[in-house]
Every structure is written in structure tokens, then in C-alpha cells.
Amino acid sequence: MWRILRRKTEIPTADRALPGRPSPDFEIPVMHYVNGNRIQPPFPEGLEQAMFGLGCFWGAERVFWEAPGVYATAVGYAAGLTPNPTYEEVCSGYTGHNEVVMVWFDPQKTSYEALLRLFWESHDPTQGMRQGNDVGTQYRSGIYTFSGSQKTLAQASRAIFQKELARRGYGTITTEIVEAPAFFYAEDYHQQYLAKNPGGYCGLGGTGVSCPIGLGVAAE
């Protein structure tokens, strides 16, 4: 049991990672199940992207598709080693991927800071390679940035939220903040899962601590 747990909570080395495949083994939907907007290119002009990992992507995606100013969302795999993995491969612990949500948003209607606030308040970012009862590298906390300004805002928000968490007795944030890697769409049945299965599993749970990013609060 210890070896299995260790395998699932450590990023595999390149020589141990599954080889993957040059293209997906499954068909990727074009439209969002909830709002009918596109989740594949081409997209309307003026949209921006954000990518987050915050535990099981079923509940994480719903957090963002319900947010004002979000055009569409999709779930997938990123920040690992295996190209075009399947869900079963990701769960094996031999891809190193995270379950992530891709968010396309209108910067005229919302902001990256607002999405960061949703991200921080919707999960516990101090848990390392797990989120609640879900254990594995695919459940780690991550922000994957598409520009220098996103990286700066993400790092600043982490510092601000760390201070708030510490006041409430939480430990060190383990969230990785890195440049956005390749995004591999998850299978169709995962897309907008909780809209297709309203009573489905959602392991997402926040800390109850508010993140004051965008409210004029600076990190010390």
C-alpha cells in the first residue's frame, strides 16, 4: 500500500512515464454542454485564457463555468510528461499530469484577479499531492500562466492568501505556478460532468478563508 501511495504522489521520471500517443484516442466535443459556446478553436476575438488545477476537475470546472464573464470551460490534463493521456493513465500515477480546467474569459466582463480569487477560495492549496480524500499528483494545486502579467498576479495573490491562511492556522501553500504547458483535453464524459450528472461526485472544498486580491490588500 505504501508503495502504491508513494507512486501516486510523486511525479514520475521521464524513463518511467507512460509513452502516450501522438493524438487523442477519443473524439473531443466542440461545444460546451451548458452554454453552447465553443471549447475548441476558433474562439471569438478578445478572449483570454486561464488554466487552474484545484483537485478533481468535475467540481473545479463548475466553479468557473458559473462565474460571470466566463465564455467557456473545458477539463483536461496538463503539467505532466505523457502526451494525449487517457483518464485511466492519469490515475495510474505514471503520467505526472494534473487534472486542470481551461477557462476562456472576456476581460471586459471579468478579470484574471477575479478568477484567481475563485481559485484560492474554492480549495485548500496547502495539501500537496491531494485534495481532501482524493490523493495523487493529478489533484495538486496549480496555476498555469499564459503571460508575464498573469504570472505576476498569480504570485502576488499566493503571497496575499498565504498571509490570510496563516492567520487561520493553515500551513504553507503548495500551489505550483508555472508557465502554461500543453493542454490535453479530457474525454467527452468528463466535460461539464456535473451538468450531465447533477448528483455526481464533487470532492471540492475550500478553507473558508477569503482571498482579498483585487481589494487593495498588499502582501507584506
Please identify every residue annotated as catalytic. Answer: 56
| DSSP reduced 3-state for 21 | coil
Place of cell 500543453: 182
Q: Are 102 and 32 in contact (CB under 8 A)?
A: no
Say how far apart CA 179 and CA 193 lie, in whole Å: 27
Cis peptide before 41 (omega within 30 of 0): no
Strands 130-131 and 176-179: unpaired
Using CA atoms, how far apart are residues 159 and 30, in angstroms rounded to an integer?
37
**Spatial contact of 145 and 177, defined as CB atoms under 8 Å apart:** yes
